[in-house]
Amino acid sequence: MSSSVVNISEHLSCPLGFGHYNAVDICILETVVIVLLTFLIIAGNLTVIFVFHCAPLLHHYTTSYFIQTMAYADLFVGVSCLVPTLSLLHYSTGVHESLTCQVFGYIISVLKSVSMACLACISVDRYLAITKPLSYNQLVTPCRLRICIILIWIYSCLIFLPSFFGWGKPGYHGDIFEWCATSWLTNAYFTGFIVCLLYAPAAFVICFTYFHIFKICRQHTKEINDRRARFPSHEVDAAGETGHSPDRRYAMVLFRITSVFYVLWLPYIIYFLLESSRVLENPALSFLTTWLAISNSFCNCVIYSLSNSVFRLGLRRLSETICSSC
């Protein structure tokens, strides 16, 4: 058994700094984590994309544009993760390591920036739906949504572009490549630039909009309860079932997705800031925070499938179609 483990370890390449203790076990564990995440991210987001194409009711929500954009971005994250997977298995990419590292770090950062910007846009969309229900359809049109998504991609591509000109590291820290860890260092000014133009504005917009969304929904629920207490009739009950109730439930689904996103990304962002300030530099912590953040690309699929009844219906129809064809 020990000889087979040694043979496996000969075909693996561990991230820098993990090999000081129990090298074989750590190396195999890293490979299993990355390969498993890659498979789950690709499979999960392909499922989301197919369900959205097979469930027309999901397109009634304007946020479906942003959800699908996030699904495509997360799918590309999974495809990009094939690069470190092949690197761990010692498959040559045919490209110089420094270029591979730079391109991979840039792509991952851009894709996660798209997800973060989409979450901020979703919160604004739900805010407009609840605060301006009468003029919402005139404010939020399919054409404007498409333009917004195009601008998100352009902005995300531009904001990390300075990293190619030697101004810091864009944010990837799970250094599978030795060059990434030893030669490509973070820069405090570039980190501050990213935080000020991406992380902080997105977090502020999300906190502001969801705070007001739930405040308005709470006030609406209180008004309904007061009416029911004064006039216990079917009309009031019917009015309570309509109105903001569906918007509130859907806002809760999106709030869960947003909350999980920031819970998984907060350790990564904190480590990003500490490493850029030269306060902390730990390869193990770097690996864990990076791949914990990347795992969010799969969590979105799970949350949406568990929280949205229309999505579950579409998933069931897709499963029945696949099973019947088989």
Share of the chain above pLDDT 90, in %: 6
In a domain, 23, yes or no: no
Residue 151, pLDDT above cutoff 90: yes
CB neighbour list of residue 124: distance below 8 Å, 6 or more residues apart: 205, 209
- The alpha-helical segments, DSSP class H, found in 132-166 are 136-139, 142-159
In a domain, 87, yes or no: yes
CB neighbour list of residue 279: distance below 8 Å, 6 or more residues apart: none
The predicted structure's pLDDT at residue 112: 86
The predicted structure's pLDDT at residue 13: 47
In a domain, 303, yes or no: yes
Identify the residue with better confidence: 301 or 127.
127
Confidence of residue 156 (pLDDT cuts 50, 70, 90): very high
pLDDT in tens, 8-51: 344 444 544 444 445 556 667 777 888 888 888 898 888 888 88
Confidence of residue 87 (pLDDT cuts 50, 70, 90): low
Cβ–Cβ under 8 Å, residues 136 and 218: no
Which residue matches tokens 């696949």?
Answer: 322
Own/partner pairs for 83-88, CB < 8 Å, 24+ apart? 84/34, 84/174, 84/176, 84/177, 85/31, 85/34, 85/35, 85/38, 87/13, 87/176, 87/177, 88/12, 88/13, 88/14, 88/30, 88/31, 88/34, 88/176
Identify the residue with better confidence: 298 or 235.
298
The predicted structure's pLDDT at residue 232: 62
Confidence of residue 155 (pLDDT cuts 50, 70, 90): very high
Farthest CA pair distance, the chain: 79
Q: Which residue type occupies 210? A: Y
Residue 240, pLDDT above cutoff 90: no
The predicted structure's pLDDT at residue 152: 94
Residue 302, pLDDT above cutoff 70: yes
What is the rounded (10 degree) CA torsion for 100, 194, 258, 155? -80
Give the lowest-confidence range in 24-33, 141-150, 186-195, 287-296: 24-33
Cβ–Cβ under 8 Å, residues 173 and 268: yes
Cβ–Cβ under 8 Å, residues 23 and 286: no
- Which three-class secondary structure string do you get for 172-210? CCCCCCHHHHHCCCCCHHHHHHHHHHHHHHHHHHHHHHH
In a domain, 240, yes or no: no
pLDDT in tens, 198-207: 888 988 998 8
Domain of residue 126, CATH code:
1.20.1070.10
Own/partner pairs for 267-271, CB < 8 Å, 24+ apart? 267/292, 267/293, 268/171, 268/173, 268/292, 268/293, 269/195, 269/199, 271/173
Task: State the residue range of the domain holding 302.
Answer: 28-227+245-320
Cβ–Cβ under 8 Å, residues 34 and 85: yes
Helix axes 64-80 and 296-307, enclosed angle (nearest 10): 140
Structural domains counted in the chain:
1
Residue 148, pLDDT above cutoff 90: yes
The predicted structure's pLDDT at residue 60: 61
Inter-CA distances, 307 with 2, 13, 78, 215, 301, Å: 45, 39, 23, 21, 10
Residue 230, pLDDT above cutoff 50: yes
The predicted structure's pLDDT at residue 6: 40
In whole angstroms, how large is the CA radius of gyration of the chain? Answer: 23
Confidence of residue 139 (pLDDT cuts 50, 70, 90): confident
In a domain, 238, yes or no: no
The predicted structure's pLDDT at residue 218: 79
Cβ–Cβ under 8 Å, residues 116 and 36: no
Which residue matches tokens 């979450």?
Answer: 119
The predicted structure's pLDDT at residue 238: 47
Confidence of residue 77 (pLDDT cuts 50, 70, 90): confident
In a domain, 182, yes or no: yes
Identify the residue with better confidence: 236 or 207.
207
Mean pLDDT score of the chain:
76
Confidence of residue 246 (pLDDT cuts 50, 70, 90): low
Residue 153, pLDDT above cutoff 90: yes
Segment 62-72 mean pLDDT: 84
- Burial, 79: exposed, middle or buried (Cβ in 10 Å; 0-12, 13-18, 19+)? middle
